[in-house]
Every structure is written in structure tokens, then in C-alpha cells.
Amino acid sequence: MAAPVVVLLAASDELGLGWLRADAVAAGLRFISFQEPDLDGALTALALEPAASRLVAGLPLALAGSLTSADRGEVRT
């Protein structure tokens, strides 16, 4: 069994994230929505099943300019 993989991608804004959720619904994909109570229930994140890879292929990596594991001296095995 393969280990689970988490990839963080960035949507342009809440509207774009909402469109992504609507596309996931239309495609019959499994997902979980996260709304932030402190932001009046704003949609802040989605967790999508691996089959959604085509839907998210054009999204950039989140935190792409931040410190990477290679910068911290971590070694992948």
C-alpha cells in the first residue's frame, strides 16, 4: 500500500476555490471543504482525492517561495 501524499496548492482566491469545488462536484469526485468560522464561514481550503489531479494541474504550489526541506538540511530517502 502506498503512503498517503499531501500536496499544498494555491488557488487565486475564494471564488477560484469555489469554482474548483463546483468542478469536483460536477466530476463526481470526493472532497472535503474547510470553512473558517473566524472569517464568516469563508471557504479556505479543499481536500481532494487523487483522481482530481487533472482539476488542479494548473494550480501553483502553495508556499513555493518559502524555506524548503533541502534548505533545512533534510535528506529524502
User: In this predicted model, what pLDDT tens digit does every residue of 15-43 receive, in sequence order?
Assistant: 999 999 999 999 999 999 999 999 999 99
Residue 68 pLDDT: 55
Cell of 58: 494548473
**CA count, 13 A, side-chain hemisphere, 20:** 27
Q: How many domains does the chain have?
A: 1
Domain membership flag for residue 76: no
Instruction: Note whether residue 21 is domain-resident.
Output: yes
- Taking the CA atoms of 34, 26, 8 and 64 in sequence, report the sign of the dihedral they define: negative
Beta strands in the chain (DSSP E): 31-36, 42-48
- Residues spanned by the domain of 29: 14-56
19 domain residue, yes or no? yes
- Across the chain, mean pLDDT equals 86
CA 77 to CA 64: how far, in whole Å? Answer: 22
